[in-house]
Each structure stands twice: as C-alpha cells, then as structure tokens.
Amino acid sequence: MTTEDTLDLYGTKVRSRFLLGTARYPSPDHLRRAVERSGAEIVTVSLRRESTGGDKAGHAFWQLVRDLGVKVLPNTAGCHGAREAIKTALMAREVFGTPWIKLEVIGDDATLQPDPFGLVEAARELCAQGFEVFPYMTDDLVLADRLLEAGCKVLMPWGSPIGSGRGLNNPYALGLLRAHVPGVPLIVAPASARRATRRRRWNSATTASCSTPRWRRRAIPRRWPMPSGGRSRPAASASSPASWSSTTSPMPRRRCSARRSRPSQGEAGGPRVVTSSSPARGGARKQGGPESARSEDQETRPVTDLDRFYLIVDRTDWLPRFLPLGLKFVQMRLKDRPEEAVRAEIAEAVALCRAAGCTLVVNDHWQAAIDLGAPWVHLGQEDLVEADVAAIRKYGLKLGISTHSDEELETALSVQPDYVALGPVYETTLKVMPWKPQGLDRVARWKAKIDIPLVGIGGITLERAPGVFAAGADSVAVVSDVLAAASPEARLTQWLGARGTWTRDQARAS
C-alpha cells in the first residue's frame, strides 16, 4: 500500500513520484542522463508503425531503456476509439513485456482531450484481460468513479491539454478529485509548467506527476527537480509529491495543444497516421487562424545570409538614416516596451528593410517576427527557453543564438541554429553581464567547435574588427561603435567600406 515513502502502483512500489517521458531528447545519452539525474523509476514509452524492416533506432532505444533498469509504462498515444486502443495495448504488452498500459483514447484532435466514453470501455476490457491500466483522463469525478469500477487502481488526470504548456490548469478540480478518490494513486499528466504554477502542490502521499521536460532546448536541466533534501537516487523519495515536475524549461502557454506531430506517421494510433504525411500537418494548430493564414507566407519570406557587418539598433527610426548607406544586415533589439509598440516598430522595420534589400533580425520577439514577416530571429539563452523553436522553423525563419559558455553553446547547438554569437569578445558597457571578456582565442576555439557561422559581439570597434574576423568570426556585431559615434552615419560608412578588406588569420586557421 501507499505510504509517505512509497507509491503503490498495482503492487509495484516506487519511491520517486516523477514519471519521465522518453520522447524528444537530443540524443540517447541525454535520455540516459535525464533518467539518472531525475531519479525517475518509471519512463513512458510508445509504439511506432514500421514501414520497412530493420528499425535499428527503435531497437537501440529499447535496448537503452532496458539497460537503464527502469520500469516502462507503454502508452496508446494517438489512438482514437476503444477498439484501436485495446489493439495497441495488446501489442504493447507483447513488445514491452509488461501488463502496465497508459491508456490514451483521444476524443478531440485540437486539444487531445481524452474520450471519456471510449476510455471507460477500453479500460473495462483491458482490466478484464489482466492489464494494469493507467487511464489518461480529464479531471471529471464521475469519470474517475467509472474507471475505478472498470478495474483501474491508478488514475492519470490531465493537468492541462498536452502541449498547452499550462501546467496545472485547474488545481481546484484536481483538488476535488484528490478528495473524491482518497487512497487512489493519481499521476498528473502532463504537468510541465511555469513558475507560477510550480508552486501549487498537493501534500498527498498518493499523487505523482508525469512529464517530458523540454530540454530539446536545454541539453540537461541545470536545476533538476529534486525532492527537498534529495541528492541521489535513494534519497529521491516522496517528500513533496507532485511538486517537482517543472523546474526544467517550461514550454510556452498555448490556447490548446501543440502536439502537431501527433498523430503522426509512425505513431501507433489510427489509420490517419499511415495514409500519407499530410494528416500530420493537418493537426491541431492548423485550426488556429493566424497561423494557418501565415503558412503560405513562408515561401515569400525573404531569407538572406549573414553579412560580415552586423549592426544592432534599438529603434526603428535609425533605419531611414542607415539603410540608404548600404546596410545589409541589421538586428532590432527592442527592450522594455509594450508589445503593441514592439509590433508596430517591427512591422515598420520589416517594410523598410524589405524595400532596401537589407536582412532584418528580430531579437527576442519571435512570435511578432513570425507574424510580421521578419526573416530572422535572434534569441538569448533565456529567450530560447520560452520560444517555440519548432514554430520559428515551421514558418521558415532563420535563427541565431547568443552563447557565453560551453554549456550555452551546447544548448544552442541542440536547436540547430543558423549562427551562434559569442560574447562579449571585449569588455562592453552596454549590458551588465556576468561574463568576462572572451578574447580572441575563445573566438578561435568557438569557431573550431562549430560548423555554422560565428558572430562576434561585445565591445568591438572598427579598429578591433579585423582581429575578430581573423580569429574566426564570420560576422562582427556592433552597437555602440556606430550608434554612440559623433556621426553614426559617418561611422557606419567606414564600417561598410572596411568589411570587405578583413582577412582570416592563416596561422589561426591552420
């Protein structure tokens, strides 16, 4: 039975209250380290349809999971209707060799809300066939009763729609459910959330959470959620149930599900997954209005390559002064302004740059960049945590990312950017940063580690620029040296004239 220290799931006692998803890791090694660091004793897994034989990746994945020595909870992701979910559960039992099944019966494609009727029907049948069913359900009290009657001894109520990033969207309802079924283990899924919702927790021994942290964007969580006092696996016990789902990178909040890839080709559920690739793209987000309106825009969005000289400005009204001089690559870094003002400035900048044949990079405001037709986005490490990189890619924008350390470089590379910026190369007074100047040797070392363009930034003057380029930077980003010059136009003209004369340092290059 469940105690303060252990959770009893169909007779299997686990100490960790955290179940880990296994999808979307940058590499098998990331998954392995995530399992080890989290202390998770249970991981969720899925089935894919095979179109040809010899799926080495699937075999390798399964071998990896077995080697980890954790319990697996297979799901019926993507299934519509009881019959399909039952069939998939039977196949999962044979493949994974466990009676456990996370039963998902999708009722609504936009939110992936479970179908309560199909869920009860499938749960009844599977329990009768000896399965130990973990039903993915809404937070409905009567549904909980029906599922318990069907034979379920664990419930998996949703915190919010999968992919919505809303964490525990209705803690009141979950609280009612907790009180309604005392003693029944509740595993909340998905439970990934932002800071505001992280604070909510139940002090209940019978509650746990299931989540796939989003470190496609952050290679490994720096602050892995450990129960208080816990440092190692044995200590990762049940001291604070349901509270540590989410100190990893939160996903952005959305109106509804963001699981565009589900159901997708290759996933177990539904005939719709196999007919062609088009249903995968016809998923939830397409109904979203503004996004679908934008989707044709992708091909007309002007995309150009990085220029050796990369100017960063803080207002759009610099552009009418600079564009006529031949500026080819400019970033708008708009800080501390209301969203409406930001959008107005970006819209104007897009129009001005397009007319002048200049490439515009929007710093941070990625959604505005998508909506307003900017060709590039630049994200800092903090922005990257919040941004929807998949959406940025979907609409054909190029992406640059700031880095200051090896760890940040690793994080940046995990999203396959079009350039990385390293800074500050020299001391800069513009931003308060915890980073010491990187120096030219670091520029060279960075360039040696990547096979994408490198932008040097921070304290670079026209006089220092040849050295930065020689050390390996493909582009030099500048703010103060132009904007704070006595005559910004004159200084810019000097930069534009000089940039073609820079040469690589052959000694460094070799």
For binding to another protein (CB under 8 A), which residues are involved? Answer: 21-25, 31, 44-55, 58-59, 61-62, 65, 74-75, 77, 83-84, 87-88, 90-92, 94-96, 162, 190, 210, 212, 266-268, 271, 273-275
What count of other Cβ atoms lies within 10 Å of the Cβ of residue 395? 20
Say which DSSP state 130 is in.
T
Alpha-carbon distance 134 to 113, whole Å? 16
CB of residue 274 vs another protein: minimum separation in angstroms?
3
Closer residue to another protein (CB): 25 or 318: 25
173's enclosing H/E stretch is helix 171-180
Q: Which of 393, 336, 402 lies closest to 370 in space, CA to CA?
A: 393
What DSSP line would sit under 72-113, residue for residue?
Answer: EEEB-TT--SHHHHHHHHHHHHHHH--SEEEE--EEETTTTE
Q: Which is nearer to another protein, 51 or 510 (CB)?
A: 51
Contact criterion met (CB below 8 Å) for 284 and 258: yes
Minimum distance between the CB of residue 250 and another protein, rounded to whole angstroms? 16
Cβ closest to another protein, residue 93 vs residue 447: 93
Cβ at position 471, least distance to another protein in Å = 40
Nearer to another protein, 55 or 383 (CB): 55
Q: Minimum distance from CB of 406 to another protein (Å)? A: 27
The closest of 347, 314, 348 to 330, measured between CA atoms, is 314
CA-to-CA distance for 152 and 100, rounded, in angstroms? 11
Q: Rounded to the nearest whole angstrom, what is the least distance from the CB of residue 94 to another protein in the complex?
A: 5
The pair of three-digit structure tokens given for residue 67, joined into one six-digit string: 């080697």
Q: Which of 13, 71, 102, 436 is catalytic?
A: 102
Task: Collapse the DSSP code of 487 into the 3-class scheme (helix H, G, I; strand E, B; otherwise coil) and give the result.
Answer: coil
Task: Give dist(CA 494, CA 500) in Å, integer.
Answer: 11
- Tell how strand 106-108 and strand 113-114 pair up: antiparallel
Q: Which residues pair with 74 in a beta bridge?
A: 45
**How near is the Cβ of 231 to another protein at its closest, in Å?**
27
| Shorter beta-carbon distance to another protein: residue 11 or 53 | 53
Active site residue 56: no
Instruction: Give least dist CB 51 to another protein, A.
Output: 6
Cβ nearer to another protein, comparing 65 with 465? 65
Residue 50 or 317 having the CB closest to another protein: 50
The closest of 313, 488, 299 to 397, measured between CA atoms, is 299
Give the Cα separation of 235 and 229 in Å (integer). Answer: 8
Burial (CB count <10 Å: 0-12, 13-18, 19+), residue 255: middle
| Residues classed as catalytic | 102
